[in-house]
Amino acid sequence: MLRICANLLKQRTSQVLVSTRLTSTDPSSGSINAAHDKFSEREKALENSYFRKQNDELMAKLRKRHEELEKQSDDIEQEQEKIEAEIKKLEKQREELAKKTQKQTKK
């Protein structure tokens, strides 16, 4: 008889504990950490360090990508300067050829 009562009592208390856990209606973010005990503080610290690490990794990727884009931009500017110099050189040659042909047609 005593065992039956003990088993019933265990079932009832476990049902009460489960129902209170499932029916928590605290919609605020971080409601798990609302207890403010050492475990919740540790969990919050771990969560913050995780997101800080993620943020640092993203920033490192962004910095690396920015450096790559700056290098590409510098390369493009150098190529553009070379092309502009080549254009000026070709224009100068064209002008010289035009002058030579004018001199030859005048003779």
**Where are the domains positioned within the chain?**
42-107
Query: What is the reported pLDDT for 12?
Result: 60
pLDDT band for 106, please (50, 70, 90 cuts). confident
Torsion sign (Cα): 52, 55, 56, 57: positive
Torsion angle of C-alpha atoms 14, 16, 21, 22, degrees rounded to 10: 100
Summarised one tens digit per residue, pLDDT across range 53-90 is 999 999 999 999 999 999 999 999 999 999 999 999 99
Mean pLDDT of 45-58: 96
In the structure encoding, which two tokens stand for residue 39, read together?
């475990």
Summarised one tens digit per residue, pLDDT across range 7-42 is 666 666 555 544 444 455 554 555 555 567 889 899
